[in-house]
Structure 1
């Protein structure tokens, strides 16, 4: 088909394709718009009224120009969907379902810019929930002291924080900075006030994970104190501390250095200042020879001390008198015997105890290292510290130095001062 041409304006209707047998392909002119109709369908329209170009068919092009802000439902040949769940560094107006990558606690994000890398790094080592090894009274200190308390557990760190329940501070105690030894051991200094009790301990790591144990820490007004050197005794008269031998055996403890007679003794520097619960404990050194060994171990008021000038026994109110023929309970102040048992002989390895419980004094012994106790006698003379003075432990020996007569594993327990 061929057309001639004309110049200038020409007003005419739609232009049809004469080669189209069905005569349904043409240029459709309308008010302020022109369209292309193919096979009877309006396929492409340019509208001056709406300012839009529209098509009922797919459009293909090597490129689109402009910012594309008014394009909708356009997918390029290699394009990606706009509603996918992309991970981005910031929100984007062209996306509808993106997720913004954000650094959490202990994490940093470093953006190297377009074409570069996003570097994700941890700012702290991974931390797990700590664990405290122990139960009631596992850890303890005395009142009015500063003690380095070693705490055993797991997942402990150099930044672990040790804290206690509110009563801990109310009672005047404070906790210092943690010294990290290993993931299973830390050391913390604790300064205690004058009030004793049990407290709940909590360890918290920097990630907020923690562990608590109820009543695991005990601030005690009582302590067990070993009398294991001569320096822990005073009013020392012809006594020494160390090893002494007899009959081919050797024992270690406080013992006599002179000849027979009630001319040797000593009492403790440590004093018991409360009669709620206290005791003096020791072991017998060997089986006595009949009629030969004589040993007194007891407790008395410190202000009654009369070891020097002596005799060494006449001042303490509660003596346990051990000799080869049996045992007696003796009051040095009244010089009276409260109890005698000639069948309770001096037996090697037997543990002896003079115990104060709510002011009542009992004399006990054990043949299984303290697992069970037999009460030999309970004194009718009660302890009254308030009206007298503090209690001390004491020793007096009649036997000569060569006979041993040595209380071994000598110790004192209670609310103590001068330790």
Structure 2
């Protein structure tokens, strides 16, 4: 089965689209990556999305506009990759763009991803799976982190029960999330807190909204950690909450950062150094209880050498490794995750793990918008695969 996966993360950097072939052989699911593109949002759409996200207020007009415009951009991204791989696929999976993830008293109450799937179905003629988090939330789960399903299959068989060492996968997007694989026990997963979200907010404020990045973390490297500010940030109640748990820019946004730094004179370099240390500390603190021996890293933060240096120091003696060591391009992992979710839903398999999201009974993920032709789902698979093998990953393409 050939599936396209589309996603756009908390940082709203670009649309990631990837395609893969899946073949189920007993307990083993074989995945062949076919290609990946990272496609920037056009014109001012990224800015329009940013203006509608917390802590900003928005309108139903803006939500309707964004639902259409994001859907059209995702449709164009799917068409571009379809052209690369020969124009054929069985299913498109679109995560869309998260605008709000509603957490109240530690429980997920709802979630909103925009990007109307009808535009993708009309443009490609293919069925589209979307809204992949809501079923898990309705079943009592967090609806996140969804990548724990992929991680559990990739890391199956890793870890050392005799040495009491576990394996972990760490994704550093706007928010950091981790999956811990424990030999002989169920996986556990959770959002650890902000990864790039607050760093991005600090850079945007310093550049007065211009397109600017702290390339390779050099701005943070030039600064000095403000210990008082770091202690205040680490005191946030989210970090003490038990797993499973999830969070987002609804909490860790520019307004939160402004409030935290109010009345504290601090240079941009020192602020970036402090926020980098916050990410490294909160990740390491969250994983400390699980005795991990290796941590496989992916996401945009994996391209920040200074952040990786701080993580290595705080995670030691655990080894920090690239997701490529598991056969997955670190930049494309989330897009391939959604392709995997499509395979699971198409075959009637649950798209989450109860131990990872906290759902009462893991449900089949998402809802399907039909494509141009008749849609026939196969007979459900009785037993989910317990591991995944990945061929050599296809190259990343960036226009």
TM-score by length of 1: 0.19
TM-score by length of 2: 0.20
- Which structure shows the higher helix fraction? 2
Find the structure with the greater CA-based Rg: 1
- Which structure shows the higher strand fraction? 1
